[in-house]
Structure formats: C-alpha cells, structure tokens
Amino acid sequence: MPFPPPLAGERVRGSAKRREKILTMIKKIKLKDKDEIFLVLGEQDSRLRALEKEFKVEIFARYNSDGDGAEISLSGPNSRVDKAFHKIKKIIENTETVVTLQRTSHAKPFDNGVIFYPPHNAPVKPRTKNQQKYIETIFENDMVISVGPAGTGKTFLACACALRALELGMVGRIIVSRPIVEAGEKLGFLPGDIDEKVDPYLRPVYDAFGAMLGAEKFRALKYSSTLEIVPLAYMRGRTLENAFIILDEAQNTLPEQMKMFLTRMGANSRMIINGDLTQIDLPFKKESGLSVAVKILRGIEGISIMEFTAEDVVRHPLVKEILSAYDRLEKK
C-alpha cells in the first residue's frame, strides 16, 4: 500500500519511507537603533549570515524608513527558530548593557579621586602618591610604560582607567594582552581548545575586570567585543584604533615582540605597558623587551615612564617585607 501524500507543513526528504515532519514558523524582532543593528547583523551582515548557518534558519532584515531601526524575520523549523530567536534577544540585552556602561559618564576623568565605581564593590581610587601620579599620567599621555614590583596596582589601576575612558567615550573598546610564558615551571600540554589553553595565563586580567564589573557586565562587554583579552601572539598584523590598549607582564616579551606590539597603536588610542623587571621568566637569560623599551623610549614626547617601588605595594603588609628581603639579598 503506497504512503499517503505529505500533509501541509510537512516536507519529504529522500524516499517516502524516510519522511520527516517539519513544522515551520516565523518570528520577528525589532531593532530599535544602529547599535542593535550592528551588533545583530554585524559588518556587511556577517553575523546575520553566521546565525543562519549556526541554526539552519532563514533571516531577513528590513530597515525602517528613517534608517534608525530595523525588523528582522526568522523562518524555519520551530525548534531552530526558537533557539535563534533567544540567541538574538541575548545579543540585544548585552548591547543595552554595553550602551548603559558607555553613557554613564561624568565631565572629569576623576570624581573626588575615584577612577571607577564598581556596581558591587568599593570605589576604585589610588592609595599611594605614585598610584595617583600613575592614573594622572595615563590620562595625560598617549603611551605609559610602568615598571615596578608585584602588588603595586599596575594592572588593576590600568584596567580601571580603561573602563573610565570607555565611560567617558574617549575610546570605543578595551584590548588587553599578555605574553604566554610559564613562570619557572613546565605545565605540559593543556587540554581543550585554544581559548581554554590560554585562559590560565590571562586569568589575572579576568579577575581584575570581574571584580570591577561583576560577572554579567563582564560577559556582556566580552560578548560584544567591547572588551577583548588576547594573547600577545594574536596581535601581529592588527591596527588598533579608538582603543585603550594594555600589555601586562611586559617583562616577558622579547625585544622584537615589544616592537611588534608598540607598532599596533592606531589613531585615537592609548597604550599602557606594565611589567616587573625583577620577575623575568624568559628562557636562556634572553633580554626583556620591556627593559629595551624603557631605555630607548625615555624622553620621547607623548610617552611617559612610571617607576613604582616597594613603598607602593598595596597587598598584604608581608609582601612589602618579602620584597625588601629579596632586594637586600640581590644587593649582597
């Protein structure tokens, strides 16, 4: 007995014996402004095409007559349209979080000495004279190189200044990079994809931003690429414009890596290079790119070099004593 013809809403794939019933549906989402349009559609509709490929649905965009908004329609199997719909809604919610952060601005870089107001933590402010000078220098110069011992707030304050610059609309994004160098011990091959492999090396930067933003805002900024945290090896060939750029643990760069990084700087960008010349983990006693940069860039207009001491350590009081003990040993 032959199979009956397919019902409405049913599609036949292959022979009649391998018939699959697929219910189709259409959902629509309104995009209220250019920020949402760009985040959902991407440059030249690249993200929209990626969403179609990921969820195997069809997506059409229709712009409003005023050009300031749009409406997108999703069509395809129920389950796939639902998943794509929720993904796009999440993108829009993250966009709103980013825009809110960017528009929460004040007239001055510092508000009563405070650099940044975290939503769930105490305000971020300098705790020593050198730290105060450091943040002032960051907003007065296009490039700042800071050297000093661990615990002096170089990374944390640089991240806070980056968020402040983003708030004020001085830059459009934040990019933080680190060289991937093991600290004196071989860890072997790490499991997972490339992001999971480099994640342990970038964890201190994640911790700094997470403490100031909270997990939700931190994820939102990362998801929208407003905040990018990448290994130094990924920086070659890029031009970083309208960005606040931070290189952390710069003592572990080679001179050629440092030159490559410094020349990534594009228009309307600021660059901060942090490192501790007493904790170089480069193999075979190779020369640090940070020490070379400090020597040859000193005195160039627009570049400021900051030097921290053990007096600026703001971690546990014992850290200051430990650093002093090691300094005495090295002098002997």
Query: Per-domain residue ranges for the chain?
Result: 21-103, 129-331
**231 vs 143, higher pLDDT:** 143
**Cβ-based neighbours of 6, under 8 Å, separated by 6 or more:** 12, 19
Would you state the pLDDT for residue 189?
Answer: 55
Does position 328 have pLDDT exceeding 90, yes or no? no
Residue 304: pLDDT band (50, 70, 90) is very high
Amino acid letter, residue 29: I
| CATH code for the domain defined by 21-103 | 3.30.1370.10
185, pLDDT greater than 80: no
How many angstroms separate the CA atoms of 279 and 250, rounded? 10
User: CA-to-CA distance for 285 and 96, rounded, in angstroms?
Assistant: 49
According to the model, what pLDDT value does residue 70 have?
86
Under the banding of pLDDT at 50, 70 and 90, the label for residue 32 is confident
The whole-number pLDDT of residue 169 equals 84
Find the mean pLDDT for residues 242-246: 95
DSSP 3-state of 286: coil
**Average of per-residue pLDDT values in the chain:** 81
pLDDT at residue 197, rounded to an integer? 62
Q: How far apart are CA 103 and CA 62, in angstroms?
A: 28
4, 238, 311 from 1: Cα distances, Å:
9, 66, 91
- Banded pLDDT at 201 (limits 50, 70, 90): confident
Q: How far is CA 141 from CA 245, 268, 302, in A?
A: 13, 12, 5
* Whether residue 190 has pLDDT greater than 70: no
User: 119 or 5: which carries more pLDDT confidence?
Assistant: 119
Task: Find, among 210, 203, 213, the residue nearest to 249 by Cα.
Answer: 203
CA–CA gap between residue 116 and residue 135 (Å, rounded): 11
Highest average pLDDT, of 72-86, 194-208, 211-225, comes from 72-86
Where does the pLDDT of residue 31 fall: very low under 50, low under 70, confident under 90, or very high at 90 and above? confident
Q: Across residues 229-256, what is the average pLDDT? A: 92
- pTM greater than 0.75 (yes/no): no
Distance, in Å, from the CA atom of 94 to the CA atom of 85, rounded to the nearest integer, reads: 14
Domain covering 129-331, topology: Rossmann fold (3.40.50)
Sheet of strand 243-247: strand arrangement: 227-231, 173-178, 243-247, 270-275, 143-147, 303-307
Q: Is the distance from CB of 154 to CB of 279 less than 8 angstroms? A: no
pLDDT of 126 strictly over 50: yes
